[in-house]
């Protein structure tokens, strides 16, 4: 496997969006207007 490639899974909902990367890290961001 090429170590320079990173994969992300993204789930977007009305209030938040969740991101998980190929290293198993999990992030959650508020989905709001700026």
Convert the pLDDT of each residue in 4-25 to its tens digit: 889 999 999 999 999 999 999 9
- pLDDT reading at 2 higher than 90: no
CB 18 within 8 A of CB 10: yes
- pLDDT reading at 30 higher than 70: yes
pLDDT at res. 31: 84
Rounded Cα distance between 33 and 24, Å, is: 28
* Torsions phi, psi for 8 (to 5 deg): -130, 140
Is the pTM higher than 0.75? The answer reads no
Which stretches does DSSP call E strand in 1-34? 8-12, 16-21, 26-30
Q: Tokens 């490639």 belong to which residue?
A: 5
Residue 20 C-alpha from the chain's centroid: 4
């Amino acid at each position: 496997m090429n170590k320079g490639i990173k994969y992300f899974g993204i789930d977007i909902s009305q209030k938040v969006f969740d991101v998980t990367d190929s290293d198993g890290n999990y992030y959650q961001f508020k989905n709001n207007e700026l």
